[in-house]
Amino acid sequence: MRVHLQRDVDRLNRRLLELSAEVESDVRAAVRAVEERDEAAARRIIEHEAIINAWEVEVEDDCLKILALHQPVAADLRYGIAVLKMNQDLERIGDLAVHIAERALLLCGRPAVSQPFRLGEMASKTQAMLKKVLDAFVNLNTAAAHEVCAADNEIDAINRDVGDQVKKAAAQNPAMIESLLQIMHIARHLERIADHATNIAEDLIYLVDGRIVRHTAEVSDVPAPPA
């Protein structure tokens, strides 16, 4: 039975890693579509959503089969629970990449926003968080997971700053308000991606240490990495 369980877990791991790589790629492509005003790239991300959704269902099915057929306990049970939750977060990150691509399409049809804001910085830091937490999950690196949790506060602060900058720009140039609103929405989507990356980090800590740290102060005890 243990051999069969390990075989099924290995297969689940492979599928989860494939889904993680695809979602991370979609986030990068969505950000690039915004930066380069690339309508074709934005449309490809939107079309790719169906594939991400199908993979998410497959991962969930595999995980539920393991829980039902093998009835794992202790660490194996924690693994199954963590994967189910991570799978949901990955699917939602994929949805957010699509939302960013949709905003990119709207921006492509409007005059370019000249103000730089901090959107590029926010996108880079959010993508770094996502990459770090996915690598941490592969390597069961809880130290990196704590760093991801701590970095979420910085993303929240940048999101507020972008919102303030957009409001000031809209007051100065009302003709650009529609484009500026898209910038604000993109920042919000990036902030939500960072939130989901944090969820994955918290689930990794639960998987390795058996401790639920969500809604506690300890995940923020590790200082955020330098900018």
* Residues 190-199: tens digit of each pLDDT: 999 999 999 9
Is the pLDDT reported for residue 129 higher than 70?
yes
| Matching residue, tokens 């693994």 | 79
Return the percentage of the chain with pLDDT > 90, whole number.
Answer: 80
In tens, the pLDDT along 18-58 reads 999 999 999 999 999 999 999 999 999 999 999 999 999 99
C-alpha dist (Å) from residue 173 to 17, 35, 111, 166, 181: 45, 21, 12, 10, 12
Please name each of the domains of the chain with its CATH number.
Answer: 2-220 (1.20.58.220)
Q: Whole-model pTM?
A: 0.91
Average pLDDT, rounded, for the chain:
91
Is the pLDDT reported for residue 223 higher than 70?
no
In tens, the pLDDT along 58-99 reads 999 999 999 999 888 888 889 999 999 999 999 999 999 999
pLDDT score recorded for residue 114: 75
Q: E strand or H helix at 220, and its extent?
A: none
CB count within 10 Å of CB 146 equals: 22
Q: Cβ(135)–Cβ(141) under 8 Å? A: yes
Is the pLDDT reported for residue 125 higher than 70?
yes
pLDDT score recorded for residue 218: 57
Is the pLDDT reported for residue 200 higher than 90?
yes
pLDDT band at 227 (very low <50, low <70, confident <90, very high): very low
CB count within 10 Å of CB 70 equals: 18
pLDDT score recorded for residue 83: 94
pLDDT score recorded for residue 219: 55
pLDDT score recorded for residue 224: 46
Alpha carbons 219 and 211: distance in angstroms, whole number? 11
pLDDT score recorded for residue 28: 97
Side chain identity at 140, as an amino acid letter? L
